[in-house]
Amino acid sequence: MDLPNIIEKKLKNIISFLEGKKVIVAFSGGVDSSLLAFLSKKYARDTLLITESSVLYPEEEINEAIQFANNYDINHMILERDPLKNEEFQCNPSNRCYICKTVLYNDILEIKNKKHFDIILDGSNIDDLSDYRPGMQALEELKISTPYIDFKINKNEIREICRFYNLYVQSKPSMACFSSRIPYGQIINEEKLMMIREAERFLKNKFNLKQLRVRLHENNLGRIEFLQSDLPKVLTEQNMKKIREKLRNLGFIYVTVDLAGFRSGSMNQVLNLDL
């Protein structure tokens, strides 16, 4: 397949940007960072992928990141972190993402300087600018490179370039850390994160779902966001009973389904921001 001219031009811009550099990619294993990892391996002078491993992410995501790095023979490092040691993060203010990314990227900067790499790449794309993303401030302050934003590349274009290179992650659903399931101002702790993790794992595996969110509100109320297309399959009387029983066993007292369905960043609606 051929790329449209405008996407081909953007791809060439990234390739030119990478050539000759020693590159660290902050690598989650998602579509965006996977394409950066692949392009860096192909065109940069040297590439190191760094993946955060913590209670904020499912083990499956870490394993998939490891598998991708192995498949494409890219140097890969797992960075073990405990974000819950940071009391400010645990308090869950509206700039939670800024706090977390500042600590994470300072850790990666130490590795960059120690190993004498030139740049660190983050996979944020231009679509991210339309949502409330306080983590972007951390990237700017620490001078982390965001080539998708610099070259005005959106999510659909990233997926199209992935198809061009036949990367198997091209259709992988988006993933956000588990702390994003807890409303701002409500304490983040390991118990809550484990409840969310196990609930989402159960729902995905039990009903063969690719995308969903389990939001955890006060009084252990679970609000499930399914894709609209999955609702008829999942919400049968028998299935609802299984879901209710499983989530109650995990610690949820109330279990609800959001009629608006899955939408990324739904917790930001309460902020009433002019985005």
Please report the pLDDT score of residue 64 as a whole number. Answer: 96
* Centroid of chain to Cα 6: 26
Please report the pLDDT score of residue 136 as a whole number. Answer: 94
User: Smallest Cα–Cα separation from 30: which of 151, 123, 160, 108?
Assistant: 123
Question: Hey, is 203 helix, strand or coil?
Answer: helix
- Sheet containing strand 221-226, edge to edge, reads 212-217, 221-226, 254-257
- Domain ranges in the chain are 5-164, 178-271
Flag whether pLDDT at 275 surpasses 60.
no
Cβ proximity of 224 and 256 under 8 Å: yes
pLDDT digits (tens, 9 = 90+) for 92-149: 999 999 999 999 999 999 999 999 999 999 999 999 998 788 999 999 999 999 999 9
Longest dimension (CA), the chain: 59
| Alpha helix positions (H), 44-119 | 59-71, 87-90, 96-115
* Amino acid in the structure at residue 5: N
- Please state the pTM of the whole predicted model: 0.92
Please report the pLDDT score of residue 271 as a whole number. Answer: 56
Please report the pLDDT score of residue 274 as a whole number. Answer: 41
Architecture per CATH, 5-164 = 3-Layer(aba) Sandwich (3.40)
Flag whether pLDDT at 266 surpasses 80.
no
Please report the pLDDT score of residue 263 as a whole number. Answer: 79
Q: Averaged over 144-170, what is the pLDDT?
A: 97
Average pLDDT, the chain: 94
- Stated length of the chain: 275
Same fold, 5-164 and 178-271: no
pLDDT digits (tens, 9 = 90+) for 176-194: 999 999 999 999 999 999 9
Flag whether pLDDT at 30 surpasses 60.
yes
Fold classification of 178-271 (topology level):
GMP Synthetase; Chain A, domain 3 (3.30.300)
Looking at the DSSP bridge assignments, the partners of residue 217 are 221
